[in-house]
Amino acid sequence: MKYKSAYFNKLLDAFSVVVNRRALLIACLSIISINSFAQTPDTNKLLLPIVKDSTNKAVQYLTLKQCIDYALQHEPNINKAIIGIDIAHATNAISLSGWLPQVNANGDLVHYIQQNGASVLPGTSSSTSTSGSSTSGSTGSGTTGSTSSSTSTSTPATSTRDNYGNTFIPELQVSQAIFSPSLLYAYKSAPLYIQQAKQVSDSTKIFIVSTVTKSFYNVLLTLEQINVLKEDTARLNRSLKDAYHQYVGGIVDETDYEEAQISLNNSVAELKQADENIIPQYAVLKQYMGLAPGKQFNVDFDTLQMMRDIQVDTNQQLEYEKRIEYQQLNTQKALQAQTINYYRTSFLPTVSAFFDYDLDFENNKASDLFNQSYPTSLVGLSVSIPIFTGFYRVNNLKKARLQQEQLDWTTTDLKSEIYSQYTSALANYKGNKFNLELLQKNVSLAKRVYFVVQLQYKQGIVAYLNVITAESNLISSEISYLNALFTVLSNKVDLDKAMGNITY
């Protein structure tokens, strides 16, 4: 009994030393992480040289926030969505340009090869008219002239006018819309199209933030797995040396040494696979960030902050209005309502004012064409009323109302989909968080068991099979804990997305 008591006291003392060392190491790492987290990063620089590797080359480190900030500025889909807002502004400017005055200038230069002769124009009878000119113009025929000296004795109420072989009629036309159903629709719909473009941009940003976050966590998971596998390989190396020395000393047989070699080979293979997996995971992260493939960086994270970020208030209520999809659907419904109003009021007249100014140049000699002009100007009001359009307006109004009913059913379906996503994300988060707490306890227990079994094996109390089992349980519990940790972090992202809480 005294021997057993002394033996277990020795085990406990040794275990306490290891625990104290590990606690001291964790405390140092925590202080370093807190200090690095407390530093204000330079947001104007993407890659910050933090440390240097063995080749004295600067290693670039990025935090999760820096990765997200970079993605919001350089990711192609986000930039295309932002350009879409400018396109919406330009499209609205095109649609609303009809409210501004429309000015056109045109002209017809005509040379007559053959004419009928003198034209007879209505007028008033006169006795004798001296040589002079009376203003006369034509906006459609292209044939104008000036009065000539003549004496009218036999044809009352008429006068003759010569035809000119060359004419040039420049015309200035100005119109101003006063009322138009289509322009009124463009005016009321313009802010909705801007809002729709902004919501597309917001939806793209939410997607990129969630994907960058998950990709960042995947990289961290693999890096942590590599660290665990490195520790496992180091432990197995020590076990291999212990088994070899005991085999050489004749304490154990050759199988212990060979089993230790097998376990070490398996661990080295897993470590190699993890090292290879980290490369494509970095590539995926750079893709979602919009970072050039040739640029390299390492991730920088704060373990304590990460553990704090896991916590979520699961009692908060789901608000459909916070989801960007719901907001986009409401904008579509508002646009559809404007379409219905447009077809409902499209029977109203289109009213516009116009002003025309013509200059009539005429002469038989082309060189003297611009010697004299005969101006004509007019102003008026144009009214266009659709009386019958083959039921065009009625059928379009019916179609628009049916499309509005479709949007109402889409809203019902979207609410069900959002609620399903929310309940699924909440259940996954709660279940995996509970699993994480248990696995954290398992890691502590597995470390203690492995430590005790390792000491017992060195003293010849247990067989090496116990060491293999304890080591296998330890590595399995550590890997399971890491998987559960980053699964919970991903579940939190999904839950925030389902509730519309993702910010950018």
504 residues of the chain, pLDDT tens digit each: 433 344 334 444 544 433 344 433 333 333 333 333 333 333 333 443 344 444 545 668 999 999 999 999 999 999 999 999 999 999 999 999 999 999 999 999 999 888 775 444 444 433 333 333 333 333 333 333 333 333 334 444 433 345 788 999 999 999 999 999 999 999 999 999 999 999 999 999 999 999 999 999 999 999 999 999 999 899 888 888 877 777 777 776 778 778 888 989 999 999 999 999 999 999 999 999 999 988 889 998 877 777 887 888 888 899 999 999 999 999 999 999 999 999 999 999 999 999 999 999 998 888 888 888 899 999 999 999 999 999 999 999 999 999 999 999 999 999 999 999 999 999 999 999 999 999 999 999 999 999 999 888 888 788 888 888 998 999 999 999 999 999 999 999 999 999 999 988
Gyration radius (Cα) of the chain, Å: 43
- pLDDT of 120 reads 43
| pTM summary value | 0.75
Taking the C-alpha atoms of residue 490 and residue 504, their distance in angstroms, rounded to an integer, is 17
Task: Determine the Cα angle at 496 with ends 492 and 501, to 5°.
Answer: 150
Strands (E) located in 144-185: 150-151, 158-161, 166-179
Structure tokens at 339: 């379409």
Tokens of 120: 């007879």
Q: Of the candidates 67, 45, 49, which has an alpha carbon nearest to the alpha carbon of residue 57? A: 49
Q: What is the rounded CA–CA span in Å between residue 219 and residue 489?
A: 13
- Cα 152 to Cα 85: distance, rounded to the nearest angstrom: 73
- Can you tell me whether residue 310 is helix, strand or coil? coil
Largest CA distance in the chain: 158
Question: Which candidate, 303, 293, 402, 336, places its Cα nearest to that of 30?
Answer: 303
Place of tokens 């980053």: 486
